[in-house]
Amino acid sequence: MPRKIPKETRQRAMRLVLDHLDEYPNLTTACQTVASRLGFGAESLRRWVRQAQVDAGARDGLTTNDLERIRKLERENRELREANAMADSTGQRNECCEMKQTLISGGIRCRASMVISVVSRSSSRSVSTRRGGGSSISPARSAARPRWSAAWRGKGVTSTGSRSAGSRARGI
């Protein structure tokens, strides 16, 4: 496992290389000499010096801040792609995403037709509740289904929803 070199030691080593760079034929030789004296890798020191030169504007390349921003954006992009892939595989993504894209890319005619089709589709699928608490299911269907679940029947609640006399006495 690579060891973590303290920031002060790194800065001192980079300062030594940059101060004595004119005494050596190239950057690599200067880094090898300084790194051997301080006891860490010459290639690591060379990369640190090059990045410091880029940050200072003495060399072409991406600055540390730009590299950090790019890494952050790439990580966010990867996470969003994974989330989209998971949503696609589990079927959680619905027509809403495609509809929004169509609404954004389409014109006014497209928007109006999409809104009409979405409203008609959503109203036919869902069961809306009324203000009084009843559902919009037909009376014949609501009479066919039991009013209370089996769990409520054991607790002294009648099918009309009121408590029986025995349950009142027991304090249930």
Residue 103 lies in a domain: no
Which domain range does residue 25 map to? Answer: 7-61
* 45 within a domain of the structure (yes/no): yes
Report the pLDDT averaged over residues 47-69.
95
**Any long-range contacts for 35-38 (C-beta under 8 Å, 24+ apart)?**
38/9, 38/12, 38/13
Domain membership flag for residue 95? no
If you average pLDDT over every residue of the chain, what do you get?
74
Q: What CATH number is given to the structural domain containing 47?
A: 1.10.10.10
Q: Which helix (H) or strand (E) holds 52?
A: helix 42-56
State the total domains in the chain: 1
pLDDT in tens, 67-78: 999 999 999 999
Residue 113, pLDDT score: 58
Average pLDDT estimate for 49-64: 95
pLDDT band, very low/low/confident/very high, at 56 (cuts 50, 70, 90): very high
d(CA 34, CA 40): 9
Q: Is residue 11 part of a domain?
A: yes
112-123 per-position pLDDT tens digit = 555 555 555 555
In this prediction, residue 14 carries a pLDDT of: 95
Query: Does a structural domain hold residue 23?
Result: yes
Q: Is the pLDDT of residue 144 over 70?
A: no
Structure tokens given for 99: 């509809």
